[in-house]
Structure 1
Amino acid sequence: MVVKGIVTSVALAAVAACQQGGQQQAAGGGTPPALPVGVIQAQVSPVGLSQNLPGRVEASRVAEIRARAAGILEKRLFKEGSDVKAGQVLFQIDPAPLRAAYNSAQAALVRAQTAEKLAAQKVARYTPLMKANAISKLDYDNAVSAQRQAAADIAVARANLKTAQINLSYATVTSPISGRIGRALVTEGALVGQGAATPLATVQQIDPVYVNITQPASAVMKLRQGLASGKLKAAEGHGESASVRIQFDDGTEYPHKGALLFTDLTVDESTGQVTLRAEVPNPDGTLLPGMYVRAVLDQAAIPDAILVPQQAVTRTAQGDTLTILEPAGTVTMPPQGPNGKPQEVPAATRKQVPVQISGAHGANWVVVGGLKAGDQVMVDGFQLVEMLRVPKVIPVPWKPGQPPVSQQQAAQGGAQGQQPQGADQHGNSK
């Protein structure tokens, strides 16, 4: 509570000084005094590197239902867009001609078996006669050949019967997989399977689903080089077991995490990207094939990075910079109220330094060079300080989500009739 009171007093004193200095400057005399600015102290910590990559949802299994038997389609036995089970009957093709072909094949098998039996009996009769030289060897050889041919005819007849049985089973079209079936591509009464396997419908298994993710090959190489040099460490679970978070295009996160299955070894020549595939549970059917999503993949960690709020960094074509504060003695702040006394408060000067940014981490930039632990980084109050051209500033601790320093000053100063002029609620000049 004592620290809070000191910070408040400093802020109020700075507001009064700002007003007084602004009035002096307007009258042509003096330089504005120091102003409070929001700062953070740089701290080194390991930071995970997450890649937010584009991806497309794909069904884990796709089965095109086709007519493998020729005939008239008699029935459609499913509701379009419904879930079906493996082995469930979907269509019924007229089985009459196929059943007739099956019966004919059965009869042909019986005929072949009868012929083989007669041929075997003939060979049995000729065998003792041949030994007694009662018949010629030619007659005996012809009988044996006839028996062997009859046995081969049985094998052919059995194969034809099996083919007829398979064709008859094709009249009942079933689903080979469990999944969700789309619209029927033909209607009852259509002639199907005539000369080609007619497409009837498509079944897609969407639990789980695949998400095909694309990543620039240059980013993959940079990641591997960083891991090899020791600048980066592999994230926990990195590899084929790495977890993947899915986000929709509006930024909301999908509740179920997926797992990385593999990374393609080939780079697409036209795009310069590689493909990664993740498997994601989809029990509610929220993810649909073809849907565009974002995949967040933890691939590495920087062991000694510094997180800095994005508003503290200035990014230009020439490079990235931020402002750090260096101690510069104290400044005397004017008294607050009729009974107040001047206060001596620590002051600092500003210094712009170039930094190296590795990437984003939430609302922060990941700084990997140009900044060291303990540095005071200016986060808030840039435009007000630049507008009034103050030579020194007063560091005030800044936390995410709190009102800007100038807004806190305005609220406190307004209670005493000392609200600063010429600044908006974000510490920026109007």
Structure 2
Amino acid sequence: MQLRILCILTIIGLSGCHDNTTKEKPAPTQVGVVTLKSQPFTYSSDLTGRTTATLTSTVLPQVGGIIQRRLFKEGDEVKAGQALYQIDPSTYKAAYDQAAAALQSAKALVIADCQKARRYAILVKEQGVSQQDADDATATCGEDKASVAEKIAALEADKINLDWTRVTAPISGRIGISTVTPGALVTANQTTALTTITALDSMYVDLTRSSVDLLELRKRALAKNSDTLDVTLTLEDGSVYPQKGKLELTEVSVDEATGSVTLRAVFPNPQHVLLPGMFVHASVDEGVIENAILAPQQAIIRDPKGNATAMVVDANNKVVVRKVITSTTSGDDYLISSGLQAGDRVIVEGTSKVNAGQVVKPVETQLGATTPAATQGAS
């Protein structure tokens, strides 16, 4: 009897021990998520280039001679037509005076010979002179008139040469360093410029971009008409140029050596801050993606080959791994080309603690305000 009671107690004790060792189901792992939303996104390209003057002119002499005076101060602003140099005009003045005297002589001959021709025309009717003499007088009058026209043209040519002894500015702008001084001999056919004038009120910025990038933009239908594209300039010291420019043209051919295309933007330059030859960075607004998906960079996981994936929490709070394609960065976000859509909850905290298919406890995380920004992918 005692043995039977002992066995019953032993069985009850074993049953109690079994109940105490039963494990409870673990709680889901908590992860931080961000719910993606579609939003307008301005696609912009970061390019480099150099400034070029919209208008420049080299000053060359049209006639030869000795420079008598320089009539400008180097570095000053000059106006079109302003006198810059005075070449010794004495020989050209003498030629002009000689041509003027020859013209007066020719005009005097016209008066005398044409009066004679008129008299002979009357006398020939009265048989006072022969018809031949009348014809010769008329011909001489005509030759004299032609000689006057020739002398007028010669006088005009000498006047032009005389005027060219005063070298004037062909355009308005800032004048550079003079290559000659008073006393220097210049010639009409020389290739060395006396000085250079550069218009600075507006400035070109020539940029280069890869042809591959241009094709990608056209696939996205973002490459708009050139006169609608705004350009923002960053100078060599890192400061942002206050005036915005417009993209004026895109080169029609690709450089075979570099595989790039040249773009030209024009900027107003009222304060003459921009000078030709400056190295600059430019941000070109290519267009707006109306329903862009931006995902935080910390939500994107890359394997050793660079392939991108993201962990998404589905409607059942299970982790799903998605393959994604990113096109460029925007601040702390990636612009997503495919793989994610609006409403997806991507894991941004705790990705190392969970695996695909695992049930998790998602908690919405604020990473800061996400605002559309210009891309920096094209360069």
| TM-score normalised by structure 2 residue count | 0.80
Which residue in the other structure is 1:215 paired with?
A: 209
1:50 and 1:361 in contact (8 A); partners too: no
Which residue in the other structure is 2:8 paired with?
A: none
1:241 and 1:261 in contact (8 A); partners too: no
Which residue in the other structure is 2:324 paired with?
A: 355
- 2:227 aligns to what SS in structure 1? coil
- Partner of residue 196 from structure 2, selected from 199, 202, 207: 202
| The structure with more radius of gyration | 2
Structure 2 Cα separation of the partners of residues 100 and 111 of structure 1: 17
Matched, 1:398 2:352: no
Matched, 1:225 2:194: no
Matched, 1:299 2:286: yes
Alpha-carbon spacing, 1:128–1:247, altered in 2? closer, same or farther (3 Å): same
Matched, 1:321 2:316: no
Structure 2 Cα separation of the partners of residues 205 and 316 of structure 1: 54
For 1:203, the aligned partner's letter is: I
Matched, 1:374 2:343: yes
Which residue in the other structure is 2:228 paired with?
A: 241
Matched, 1:118 2:112: yes
1:247 Cα offset (Å) = 1.9
For 2:272, the aligned partner's letter is: G
- Partner of residue 135 from structure 2, selected from 135, 141, 160: 141
1:109 and 1:158 in contact (8 A); partners too: yes
Supply the RMSD in Å over aligned alpha carbons.
3.0
| Residues 121-168 of structure 1, C-alpha deviations (whole Å, 9 max, x = no match) | 111121112223332332222222211111111111111111111111
- Partner of residue 192 from structure 1, selected from 177, 186, 189: 186
1:215 Cα offset (Å) = 2.6
Matched, 1:99 2:93: yes
Structure 1 Cα separation of the partners of residues 301 and 112 of structure 2: 101
Which residue in the other structure is 2:272 paired with?
A: 285
- Which ranges of structure 2 fall in alignment gaps of 5 or more residues? 1-25, 371-379
Mapping of residues 114-193 of structure 1, within 5 Å: 114-193=108-187
1:247 and 1:253 in contact (8 A); partners too: yes
1:81 and 1:182 in contact (8 A); partners too: yes
1:300 Cα offset (Å) = 2.3
1:73 Cα offset (Å) = 0.6
1:98 and 1:167 in contact (8 A); partners too: yes
Structure 2 Cα separation of the partners of residues 75 and 185 of structure 1: 13
Bigger drift between 252-261 and 37-46 goes to 37-46
Structure 2 Cα separation of the partners of residues 362 and 251 of structure 1: 18
* Identical columns (%): 38
- Which ranges of structure 1 fall in alignment gaps of 5 or more residues? 1-31, 330-347, 403-430
Alpha-carbon spacing, 1:125–1:221, altered in 2? closer, same or farther (3 Å): same
- 2:174 aligns to what SS in structure 1? strand
Mapping of residues 17-36 of structure 1, within 5 Å: none
1:306 Cα offset (Å) = 0.9
2:299 and 2:311 in contact (8 A); partners too: no
Alpha-carbon spacing, 1:277–1:172, altered in 2? closer, same or farther (3 Å): same
Give the number of equivalent residue pairs. Answer: 342
- 1:293 aligns to what SS in structure 2? strand
1:47 Cα offset (Å) = 1.4
Structure 1 Cα separation of the partners of residues 180 and 108 of structure 2: 45
For 2:100, the aligned partner's letter is: Q
2:53 and 2:199 in contact (8 A); partners too: yes
| Residues 343-401 of structure 1, C-alpha deviations (whole Å, 9 max, x = no match) | xxxxx775542212232334432112101222223345667x59xxx996864513239
Which residue in the other structure is 1:259 paired with?
A: 246
Which residue in the other structure is 1:272 paired with?
A: 259
- 1:189 aligns to what SS in structure 2? coil
